[in-house]
Each structure stands twice: as structure tokens, then as C-alpha cells.
């Protein structure tokens, strides 16, 4: 049986225009007249002036603006941007009126769990990452040592966390212990700093250097449930890059396992700090990496992780925007300059009270 298609002609339906005009009372009404632009705020006759301006501003500073709005007849009007600011902006925006002046301040909170996810995480300026989510400072080696004093930090996940530990060792904050260079502990006995690392087991996207002994007992979730937490214990997680080639439900199940383990840990030790690092961008040298390890796949995992773990008492340390906008070549293990800025964020979450005047 065959079908023969004949040419068809389609015509767009005629839409009835709804004309809006402005009345002298300042309200919008439907009518058959055109818009009277003389009643609308006119860009040419509206002025914006910064009161007591200074050469440099920092995130969290107070910016006082004098906005004098005028219409097409140069008559003064109340500015409407205050209403738009309240409606469109998310986060702790404070707006107060002083006669014709409007003071707008957006103070950044200290880094803590359950921070509201913002569309833009931050920006690079003169080689330093400036967070738009919470207050992050630049930590010196001495300040990192002070922050980690009397703390035990457990890193669980992939090699991007091991890179953090190795960088802390290069900065002479801790010293590597004996054993396998991939998994050996780092310590600073004088400052009572203990750092451990364990890989998240399968899946694994590299050569089989990992010794699979007992996957049932060696998983991250089981390790967390056996962990001794406390006020001076920090758990840092990163499960991402090795999961991009797997079906999404594999990662989803693993995240729910982690969620259950974290809930049990906090039930026994509610003051334990838990920080979850997001995926970062990577290099794509081969066709397999383009297909199975693309940044698009990694970003999907970021969203899934937030959906499952975001409501817990955990801090999500987002490094996605930082690595997307870096000026170094993309690499699954970023340049040490980028790593140093990632560590600044980590320390700002572990020791938020050390962050001042940011």
C-alpha cells in the first residue's frame, strides 16, 4: 500500500494586537491607543550617580547609588529597579531607601553546609579565584597549618583529592608516611594533623593499579559508616570522573548509598564536617575520552549529586566554574595554581571563622 502526498499550503493565523497605554495616574491600561512614551522612564533624562565613590570595591561592600528617574517630559519619577531587584535576585539582598538614594548590599555568608546554589560560582581576577557563593580567603601555608591543627581529615574518592593531599605535602604542611605512594597517610605530629586517603573502588577508568580485595567491605559507604567522627573530624568526598562512562543509574545508586552513610555518621557524630567536591573539567586527548568522559557527562553527574546530597548537612564545594574559566589547559588534574585556589575554598569551609574582611 502506498501513499501520495500532495502539496499543502499553510497560512499563519492573524493575531489581534493588544495595545497598551500609560495613563496620567501611572497605571497600565488596555486601549486602542498607542503607548505614550512621554510617561515612561526615559534613558536620556535619567541619571545614576555613585555616592562617595572609591577606586576599588570588594564583594560585600556597600554601594550607594543616587538614581534620579525622569520621563520623556523630564518629570521626575520613582525608579522601578528596586521592585525588579527584589523579584529577580536570589540571595541575601538588602535594599533600603534614603529619600532618593537606594543602598544595595549583598553580603556573602561564611562557607557552611546547605548553601543555596547560585548560577555563577565566582570569577578569576589577577590569578585569584573570587567566590560569589561564600566568603573565601587566600590561605598561606602557615594559616592552612593553623586551620588543620588538631584535626583528622579523611579524603575519600578519586585522584583529584589525592592531588590536594600531595599539594599540602609539597607546601610542607604535612609529611607523607610509609607505604603505597597512592594511599599512604600524611601527618604533622607536632600539630596533631592526620590525613588519610582511600579510593572509591569501582568503577575505574584507568589501568588496573587498584588491588580489588573485598569490594563489599572496602566501599566508601561502608568506610563512612565505620568511621569515628567528631567536631575535629572532616570528611571530604569526590566521586565523579570514573563514573562518566557508566549509566546514570549507577551513579544515582552510589549517591543514595553515600546519603544513607552520611546520615548515619551524622546521627552518631552530628558535628562531623562533611564536604563534597564537584566534578571539574578535564582534557580529552583520545576519542574514548571524548565519548566516555566528556565535560557534558560530568556536569550531569554534578546535577545528580546536588539533587541527592544537597538537602543533607553537607557542604558542596563547587569547582566547576573555576576549572571551566581557568587559563591553563584543561586537565583532570588542574595546574597547581588552580589547586591552590581550590584549597583556599576547602580551608574556608573547614575554618570559616578564619575568613575575615573578605
Residue 15 buriedness (CB in 10 A; 0-12 / 13-18 / 19+) = exposed
Pairing of strands 20-22, 28-30: antiparallel
331-349 pLDDT, tens digit per residue, is 888 999 999 999 999 999 9
Residue labelled with grid coordinates 564536617 = 273
Gyration radius (Cα) of the chain, Å: 27
Measured N-to-C along each axis, helices 159-170 and 336-350 cross at an angle, to the nearest 10 degrees, of 90
pLDDT value at residue 86 = 37
Residue (of 125, 132, 138, 86) closest to 109 by Cα position: 132
Contacts (Cβ under 8 Å, ≥6 apart) of 357: none
Residue (of 292, 284, 198) closest to 239 by Cα position: 198
Measured N-to-C along each axis, helices 295-309 and 248-268 cross at an angle, to the nearest 10 degrees, of 40
pLDDT value at residue 196 = 94
pLDDT value at residue 32 = 45
- The average pLDDT across 174-180 equals 84
Most confident of 3-12, 76-85, 277-286: 277-286
Please spell the DSSP secondary structure of 299-333, one letter per residue: HHHHHHHHHHHTTSS-EEE--HHHHHS-SSPP-SS
Calpha distance 118→108 (Å, rounded) = 12
281-319 pLDDT, tens digit per residue, is 888 877 777 777 788 889 999 999 999 999 999 999 999
How far, rounded to the nearest angstrom, does the alpha carbon of residue 335 sit from its chain's CA centroid?
A: 19
Q: Is the dihedral of CA 210, 215, 218, 220 positive or negative?
A: positive
Please give the model's pTM, rounded to 2 decimal places. Answer: 0.69
Q: Is a pLDDT exceeding 80 seen at residue 59?
A: no
Calpha distance 265→260 (Å, rounded) = 9
Helices in the chain by DSSP H: which ranges? Answer: 81-88, 141-148, 159-170, 215-218, 220-226, 248-268, 287-292, 295-309, 320-324, 336-350
Number of H helices, E strands in the chain: 10, 16
254-272 pLDDT, tens digit per residue, is 999 999 999 999 999 999 9
Q: How confident is the model at residue 278 (pLDDT cuts 50, 70, 90)?
A: very high
pLDDT value at residue 87 = 35
pLDDT value at residue 237 = 96
- Contact indicator for 157, 224 with CB cutoff of 8 Å: no
Give CA separation, 24 vs 67, 72, 77, in Å. 22, 13, 12
- Contact indicator for 58, 106 with CB cutoff of 8 Å: no
Identify the helix (H) or strand (E) that includes residue 131. Answer: strand 128-131
Amino acid at each position: 500500500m502506498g501513499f501520495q502526498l500532495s502539496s499543502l499550503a499553510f497560512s499563519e493565523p492573524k493575531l489581534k494586537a493588544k495595545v497598551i497605554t500609560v495613563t496620567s495616574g501611572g497605571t497600565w491600561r488596555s486601549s486602542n491607543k498607542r503607548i505614550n512614551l512621554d510617561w515612561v522612564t526615559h534613558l536620556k533624562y535619567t541619571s545614576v550617580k555613585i555616592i562617595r565613590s572609591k577606586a576599588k570595591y570588594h564583594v560585600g561592600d556597600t554601594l550607594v547609588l543616587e538614581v534620579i528617574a525622569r520621563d520623556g517630559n523630564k518629570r521626575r519619577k520613582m525608579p522601578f529597579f528596586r521592585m525588579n531587584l527584589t523579584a529577580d535576585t536570589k540571595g541575601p539582598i538588602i535594599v533600603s531607601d534614603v529619600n532618593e538614594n537606594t543602598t544595595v548590599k549583598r553580603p556573602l555568608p561564611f562557607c557552611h553546609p546547605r548553601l543555596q546554589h547560585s548560577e555563577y560560582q565566582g570569577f578569576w581576577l589577577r590569578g585569584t579565584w573570587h567566590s560569589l557563593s561564600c566568603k573565601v580567603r587566600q590561605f598561606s601555608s602557615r594559616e592552612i597549618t593553623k586551620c588543620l591543627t588538631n584535626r583528622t581529615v579523611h579524603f575519600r574518592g578519586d585522584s583529584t583529592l589525592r592531588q590536594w593531599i600531595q599539594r599540602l605535602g609539597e607546601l610542607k604542611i604535612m609529611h607523607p608516611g610509609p607505604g603505597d605512594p597512592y594511599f599512604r597517610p600524611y601527618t604533622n605530629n607536632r600539630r596533631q594533623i592526620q590525613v588519610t586517603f582511600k579510593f572509591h573502588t569501582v568503577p575505574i577508568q584507568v589501568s588496573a593499579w587498584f588491588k580489588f580485595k573485598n569490594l563489599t567491605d572496602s566501599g566508601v559507604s561502608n568506610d563512612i559508616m565505620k568511621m569515628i567522627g567528631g567536631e575535629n573530624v572532616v570528611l571530604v568526598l569526590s566521586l565523579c570522573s570514573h563514573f562518566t562512562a557508566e549509566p546514570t543509574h549507577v551513579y544515582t545508586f552510589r549517591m543514595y548509598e553515600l546519603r544513607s552513610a552520611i546520615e548515619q555518621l551524622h546521627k552518631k557524630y552530628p558535628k562531623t564536617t562533611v564536604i563534597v567536591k564537584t566534578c571539574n573539567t578535564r582534557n580529552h586527548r583520545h576519542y574514548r575520552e571524548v565519548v566516555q568522559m566528556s565535560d557534558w557527562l560530568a556536569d550531569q553527574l554534578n546535577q545528580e549529586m546536588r539533587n541527592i546530597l544537597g538537602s543533607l548537612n553537607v557542604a558542596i564545594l563547587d569547582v566547576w566554574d573555576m576549572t571551566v574559566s581557568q587559563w591553563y589547559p584543561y586537565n583532570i588534574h588542574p595546574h597547581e595554581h588552580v589547586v591552590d585556589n581550590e584549597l583556599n575554598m576547602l580551608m574556608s569551609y573547614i575554618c570559616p571563622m578564619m575568613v575575615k574582611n573578605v
